[in-house]
Amino acid sequence: MHPFDLTILGCSSATPTSSRNPTAQILNQHERYFLIDCGEATQIQLRRFKLKMQRIDHIFISHLHGDHYLGLPGLLGSMHLLGREKELHIYSPPGLEEIIAINHHYSKSHLNYKLVFHAIESQARILEDDKMSVDTIPMNHRIPCYGFLFREKPNLRNIIKEKIEQYSIQVQDIPAIKEGKDIVSAEGKTISNAELTTDPAPPRSYAYCSDTIYNESYIGQIKDADMLYHEATFGSEMIDRAKETYHCTAKEAATIALKANVKRLIIGHYSARYRDLSPLLAEAKEVFANTVLAIEGEKYSV
Amino acid sequence: MHPFDLTILGCSSATPTSSRNPTAQILNQHERYFLIDCGEATQIQLRRFKLKMQRIDHIFISHLHGDHYLGLPGLLGSMHLLGREKELHIYSPPGLEEIIAINHHYSKSHLNYKLVFHAIESQARILEDDKMSVDTIPMNHRIPCYGFLFREKPNLRNIIKEKIEQYSIQVQDIPAIKEGKDIVSAEGKTISNAELTTDPAPPRSYAYCSDTIYNESYIGQIKDADMLYHEATFGSEMIDRAKETYHCTAKEAATIALKANVKRLIIGHYSARYRDLSPLLAEAKEVFANTVLAIEGEKYSV
């Protein structure tokens, strides 16, 4: 199967710590990199984990709190200095284009590639191609904020090798067969697709939910996702602070995972107060057993 | 003597490398921290080197290229989240206030402390108190850019301990004596200051010069400085590129040090192309022997 995995570049909430950076992740599908949020020092983390920045063509910014986008101006500048020419798409709530523009105005900077800004203002499909679709997931935070649902397009059917010889199948017929079409043999006989192929691997999906106060409004949207990253800024002992700041506890993140029937949960966006993350993990696991911690540099297969 | 030393937080030019961060330095005078430039990830470097961010009351930004200021919004936010209430002074060419304001507008952020912006538009004394003066040094770069000259105020004279007993000097007279005043003894006899004190250590100075094309216009201003940091983005083999981008070679930095008769030169702001910095050091030392490399985390006493 083609790669479809996530690398955590940063998993701290607002203030970074000496061991945790602000939010950023790379989703790798078919060796295309999708950058999800871009906290300060994202470009440094990319280098550290040997992920090629020029492989990123789409950047998704959940919201305009600094810990989710302040690494963007530096990354854009480095992409330019390192010779980028292909266009780059940036999806975020409105405002980011203006922020980048004023930085470039004062630095008299010009990028040798085209930036295409896509303003997110509702639940919508913001990207779709032959391999993937991306939908926004409205969060409930202090400012406009969106999660993202990445879904593979249905995979092509697998041709049974022996059938190619058996029916003398021509190369030019293979794409149609993979798409589920029957064929007609040289003798004029229809051979059903079911005889020629096996079911493909089911399309995989990854849901990214950060930042938000606990709310069940998006459970339907992320239903049955293969992997869910959900913010878990606090432990339950800080539930009041979580509500006040429009964040979730680890237990709440796990409750969402349970209700949405996802296959696996990654928690992250930890408050700097937690040096030891095991209490957050334990709390989540009590509700949803298949929970893991987001750890910088770790790769998680969807 | 009171501490007067410099810690390098970042010494890379525009694009950071896996081992070098963009420009930032902490000058520590009397345990007051002056932050000089604030490239991306400065707050992370401060934590890494265990330098308390709240001890910074003055931030000096040489110019508005991203590698010299993009760490500022994140640092300001963390200072707020960590409880800062005392005001913070920021000195930079015009524009920074607008950049910070637009970030705060979209993030709906409010700082619990006062930011005081000081726009630099010429060669001027921008800070002066009883311990230190700071002057701007006009550089010649692609956009308005200033270096900074930090000079200790003359130190107080040292009282000779035995004289205190010998002349029964009262505690309340000591400040005046340290300032060079004579005293009159109980018997009405004038005792000259020269008999009571020895010369203080001469005031120390640190000059920061980055970014600039080679130009001798500021040599008079940095004359005899105890320590000079000078950008040395390239080696002499890249002299054309240095001129084109308004930067200096290591040899040019050393030439400035030599002509200004400084005591020690630190070179930095290295292009990412130099993994091994020893050729830059060797080139500078040929012209000015007392040259050292800027290394992140290293402390240099003025």
pLDDT digits (tens, 9 = 90+) for A152-199: 998 889 999 898 888 888 888 899 999 999 998 878 889 999 999 999
* The predicted structure's pLDDT at residue A202: 87
Q: Does A278 score more than 80 pLDDT?
A: yes
Q: Is B16 on the interface with A (CB under 8 A)?
A: yes
One of B5, B37, B57, B67 is an active-site residue; which one?
Answer: B67
Interface subset of B 133-172, CB within 8 angstroms of A: 142-143
Secondary-structure class of domain A4-155+201-301 per CATH: alpha beta
pLDDT > 90 fraction of chain B, expressed in percent and rounded = 86
A233-237 mean pLDDT: 97
Nearest CA to A24 out of B37, B74, B51 is that of B74
The CA radius of gyration of chain B, in Å to the nearest whole number, is 22
Q: Which of A37, A57, A67, A182 is catalytic?
A: A67
Q: What is the rounded average pLDDT for all residues in chain B?
A: 95
Report the pLDDT value the prediction gives residue A164, as an integer from 0 to 100: 87
How far apart are the C-alpha atoms of B124 and B120, rounded to whole Å? 8
Give pLDDT, residue A168: 86
Contact B77 A102 (CB under 8 A): no
Contact status, residue B22 vs residue B16, Cβ threshold 8 Å: yes
Q: Which residues of chain B have pLDDT under 70?
A: 1
ipTM: 0.89
| pLDDT of residue A1 exceeding 80 | no
Cβ within 8 Å, pair A74-B95: no
Q: Do A77 and B106 touch (CB under 8 A)?
A: no
Considering only CB atoms, A40 lies closest to which of B40, B47, B98, namely B40
On average, the pLDDT of chain A sits at: 95
Q: Is B119 on the interface with A (CB under 8 A)?
A: no
Domain boundaries, chain A: 4-155+201-301, 158-198
Q: How far is A263 from chain B (nearest CA, A)?
A: 33
Q: Do B77 and A14 touch (CB under 8 A)?
A: yes
| Total H helices, total E strands in chain A | 11, 18
pLDDT of residue A107: 93
pLDDT band at A14 (very low <50, low <70, confident <90, very high): confident
Specify the fold of B4-155+205-212+226-231+292-301.
Metallo-beta-lactamase; Chain A (3.60.15)
Q: A183 CB contacts (<8 Å, ≥6 apart)?
A: A167, A169, A173, A176, A177, A190, A191, A193, A196
Contacts of B18 in chain A (CB under 8 A): 44, 47-48
Tell me phi and psi for residue B200, to 5 degrees: -75, 165
pLDDT of the residue at B1? 66
**Does the beta-carbon distance from B142 to A43 stay under 8 Å?**
no
Q: What is the pTM of this model?
A: 0.90
Share of chain A above pLDDT 90, in %: 86
Report the DSSP beta bridge partners of residue A183: A191
**How near does any CA of chain A get to the CA of B207, in Å?**
24
User: Does residue A66 sit at the B interface (CB-CB below 8 Å)?
Assistant: yes
The pLDDT of residue A167: 87
pLDDT of residue B59: 98
A37 part of the active site: no
Å between A61 CA and nearest CA of chain B: 13
Q: What is the pLDDT of residues B90-139, one digit of tens each?
A: 999 999 999 999 999 999 999 999 999 999 999 999 999 989 999 999 99
Q: Are residues B13 and B233 in contact, defined by beta-carbon separation less than 8 angstroms? A: yes
Considering only the beta carbons, identify the residue of A47, A78, A99 that sits closest to B102: A99
In this predicted structure, what is the pLDDT of residue A182? Answer: 92
CB contact under 8 A, B70 and A65: no
Size of the A and B interface in Cβ pairs below 8 Å:
108
Which residues of A fall within a CB distance of 8 Å from B44?
A: 16, 18, 21, 40-41
Distance CA A164, CA B160 (A): 102
Are A77 and B14 in contact (CB < 8 Å)? yes
* pLDDT at residue A15 greater than cutoff 90: no
